[in-house]
Structures are given as C-alpha cells and as structure tokens.
Structure 1
Amino acid sequence: MRHFEEGAKSMYAMFLNNKGRVMYDTLVYKWKDDDSYLLECDSSVINAIQKHLKMFKLRRQLDIKDVNDEIKLWALISPNVPDIVDNTLEIYKDPRLNDLGSRIISSVSVNETKITDIIGSDITIVNDDNGYKYLRYKLGVSEGADDLPPGTSFPLEANCDYLHGVSFHKGCYIGQELTARVHHTGVVRKRLMPLKFTADVKDSIQKDCPITFANNTKTSVGKLKGTTQNYGLGLLRIKEAMDAKILKVGDYEAEVIKPSWWPIEAPREVTAKKEQN
C-alpha cells in the first residue's frame, strides 16, 4: 500500500488463504477521499470479500461497504490514458499491463453517449465481455472467479509476480510463507498461458478439461480454464507445453503461446553461480 504514498493511483493484488492459494484477485484504486480506496473484484464474490475484509480489520476504524449500485465500470482498451477532467468519472491506468489499457469508473448516471462525448467520438463501445475477455486470453491474463476459482490456484501460477501483484520485500501477510518459498527457490513449473486454437471453439469445452499432447492423449500437461473464440487460457506445465508442437483440448487442437510480456529469466545454473560469486 506504500505505492499509493509514492504517487501510484492503482494496484494489482490478491487475497490468499493460509495455504497460500488465491481467494480473490483485485484491482485497488486510490479513491476520491484521502483515506478511501476502491476495490474492483468479481461481482460474484462481493459478499465473500467483504466478509473476508471485516474478519481481519480487528479494532481498526474502517468502513467497508458495497458501492456496486452506485458506480459503473468500463474497460478502455487503449495504451494511452486520456487526460480528462470530469467530476462524473475517474480514469485509472491498468497496473498489470499497458496492453490492458485503462479502467473508467463512472457514476451510474453516465451512459454510453456521455462516455463517447467525454472520451472521444472515435471509440467503439461494446456491451458484452467478449472483446475484453478475448484480449485477456490472447495476452494470457486471468481475472475473476471463473479463471481463478477461490482456493484452487497459487499466485505465481497466475503470473501475479509478472503482473506487479506481489511484493517479496514487504512484511508478513496470509499465505506469504509458501509464496516466498516458491519464489526464492526459483521453481514455478506451472503457469497460466494462452492457447491458440486452430479454429473457433463453437462447442463448449468443460472447465478443467485435461490438456494433452496431440500424439499422446493419455499424458496431461495441464488444465483448461476457459475459452473465447479461437483463444483459451490454460494452467500448463511450462516446459512440456512449450516443447509440444500441438496440444489437444477436447476435440480441438491448439498451440501454446509464451506471452511477450513475460520477463526473460536467467537459467537457474547461471543464477546459482552468481550467488556463489
């Protein structure tokens, strides 16, 4: 949270359970008042995350409330943040990736026409989640309870470390021990990665469907988390998936793509030698 004291307006974060697994992912925004913060989360877990926060506030004088009926959330898919002064909305740069653009948070009174007037007439408003979900899956970015069912995923498997969502220097937090241990050993064998199908997925593929080698369907390299059009998101064993030319997901074939935004990691042998020196 000290990032806000240094001028940050938004932050990516995850709430973990005591076993180090992700309960909820969130975007945190510095809100209008000096002592206020707005948490964006999956609408299906609003009550659960409120209960979670209230359980840990102890004797702090904190007011935690649901403002879902008071505001609207818009995703602006553009690498540029428009410089706009308007008291009916707030614009925040997505803290995860530039390619994810910005969030516009407006009052419920703001409609599509006003958004177009404020932002510019050259924008196109899409009223469903498919365009944004397609962008996320193409990039390999998870979001919400559908991609990260509470209590099932580890933060580093969800690329939280690559998306500026975890600090390895801060004090103790719930789930820290396992998260820090995995990070410092340098071994994260599975991560969420984009899958590009050879054709649009028109038939529903069951969630957590095994992802296998095309030439050996008995050997699983991961599980499917979701699909949209010709892209999917899978939790995959990185080395095996990258070595495979073609993967099989249900009745479809796909190739795994290593996201361009992933950092280039030094081989463990090189890192070990540097530490010895």
Structure 2
Amino acid sequence: MADFVSFPKRGLVCVSGPDAATLLDGLLTHNVAGAGPKACVYTAMLTPQGKFLFELFILAPEAGTYWIDVSDPASFAKRLSLYRLRSKVTIEDKSEANVVGAVWRAEALPTGTICYADPRHPDLPQRFIAPRVELPSEVEDAFAAYEQARLSLGVPNLAADLLVEKDFILEGLMDEMGGVDFHKGCYVGQEMTSRMKRRTTVKTKLCRVRFDGEAPAFETPILADGWEVGRMRTGGSGQGLALIRFDRAQKAISEGQELQAGDQTVRLDPPNWMQVPS
C-alpha cells in the first residue's frame, strides 16, 4: 500500500494581495472566506455560459494569500490574469517548487508539508502540498491505488471526468460534494448554474458504474438497444464513472434492456450520497 501519491497533472498557484479575495469571489462558485492554513474551500471556475473550466482546492496560509491546487496551473494562472485588470493582486505559478497530492499516512511526508481533509468525501485520503525537492519517492502504482479508492466511493475528479467548456459542474455532482454556494454573490457562470439548480431537473450526471474486467475507453458510448444513454469517463478495474442520461437509462433498464459500452455490460451503481435524478 502506498503512503502517498503526487498528482502529475495538478500544480499550485498562489494568489495574493489586498484585492485577492475580491477577485476570486467574483469568479468562483464559492467564496474563499472559509479557507485557512488547513481549511480547504472546494470550488470551480466556469465559462460565462456556465461550462466547466477548473476544479480548485483553496487554502489560505495567511490573510490575503491563497494557495490553489488546480489542474493545468499555467492555463489557470493565465486565465485568472485576464480578469485581474487593475486589481492589486499577484498571481504566481509555484508548481516547479511544490507538489500536490493525496496521502494515506501523513508521517511519511517531510516536515513542512501541509495536509488537509479532502472536502469531497470523508473517506478519501487527505490532500497535501509539499516542497518538491524534499518529497521522497513513491511506489510505482500509487496513482492507480488512489484512483481505485476514489472510484469505489463514486467521487468525480472533474478535471478528468468532465469535458472542459462542454459539461456543467452540476452534471459532475459538484453541488452534492459541497463545491457550489447557491447563496453567494455573483460569479462568472452563476446564472446558468442557478437556473439548472432551481428551475430544471439535471437529468445527466456522473454516476459510478460497475462492469466485469477492464474499463471501456474514455468517451465510449453507453447504449441501450442501440440508443445512447451515456458515455464512459474515468475507469478502473471493474468500476468507473460514466456521464449518464438518467431518464433514458432508467427507462431502458425498466424495459429489461442491458446497458452496453463496447463489448462490456455496464451496471449503474450510484453511491448513497448522490442525488439520483427521478
């Protein structure tokens, strides 16, 4: 069993200055006031049309300074800078000097590492930020072990399981995981996100699925009697996540049809914390 896993596609961006909180609050699905040295705010950055861009885990080691764990940190820093205008804010990509990841045994990490609870699910391992030069080596299959743990809980990694600028965060279960504050002030993409929550039923969502053997490839169509009811996203051995159109899938299942992804039979297995569309 691995002690920890580093996330090769994620990095650390530091946003600081007198206007840092104001800038972030106007862009993200959660206010950053709840962030602290070990208190994480889980949130997202969207397009003006409400489509997914970045999934963020934010800490505040001190007042006015925010450490942001994000996939593709260079792209995030560049997009954030477009909104900075005349704000008194410094945006720094600190990924070369720091590693972000998850840890099962915190004592295996060097002194100075910051560990904090993953806000998406209490059974996920803690996340961490550590100096890159001091990080010890990890076992070869650590990422596979982490992915199996994540998938077994049905927890999405939106950076891997949603399509950027195409999918919506409510399809990615972000409200169920506490990543959206529906009572905060305006932010980019708020209108569409609020409309989906309050005025319509979200019929398409990421859902844990089971199958025998290896996972179907990413974006493999899931069919029922030749009609598409979803698409495969991240998969592991015997389990994965798929973006499912629930009204179509449930109708097919009620009629005795199997769901097929390539040559695999797929079974829906939503976790008990997920709000399944009726």
Q: Which structure shows the bigger proportion of residues in strand conformation?
A: 2
Fold shared, TM-score > 0.5 on shorter chain: yes
Instruction: Tell me if structure 1 keeps the 8 A contact 2:38–2:114.
Output: no
Per the normalisation by structure 1, the TM-score is 0.78
Matched, 1:35 2:64: yes
Give the corresponding residue for 1:120.
none
Matched, 1:24 2:54: yes
Per the normalisation by structure 2, the TM-score is 0.78
Q: Tell me the secondary structure at the aligned position of residue 123 of structure 2.
A: helix
Count of residue pairs brought into register by the alignment: 244
Matched, 1:238 2:218: no
Give the corresponding residue for 2:222.
211
How much is the aligned-residue C-alpha RMSD, in angstroms? 2.8
Distance 2:227 2:82 in 1: 43
1:125-173 deviations in Å (ceiling 9; x for gaps): 5654211112222222222533222101101000110010011101111
- Note the 1:16-165 alignment, pairs <5 A: 16-30=46-60, 32-42=61-71, 45-77=72-104, 87-112=111-136, 127-165=141-179
In the TM superposition, structure 1's runs of 4+ consecutive aligned residues that sit over 6 Å from their partners are 5-8, 82-86
Instruction: Tell me if structure 2 keeps the 8 A contact 1:88–1:110.
Output: no
Q: Tell me the secondary structure at the aligned position of residue 198 of structure 2.
A: helix
What's the % identity of the aligned pairs?
A: 25
Give ranges in structure 1 of 5+ residues lacking alignment: 114-123, 268-277
Higher relative contact order (CA 8 A, sep 6+): 2
CA-CA distance at 1:6 after TM superposition: 8.7
Which of 177, 181, 188 is equivalent to 1:167? 181
Distance 1:7 1:110 in 2: 20
Matched, 1:221 2:245: no
Q: Tell me the secondary structure at the aligned position of residue 155 of structure 1.
A: coil
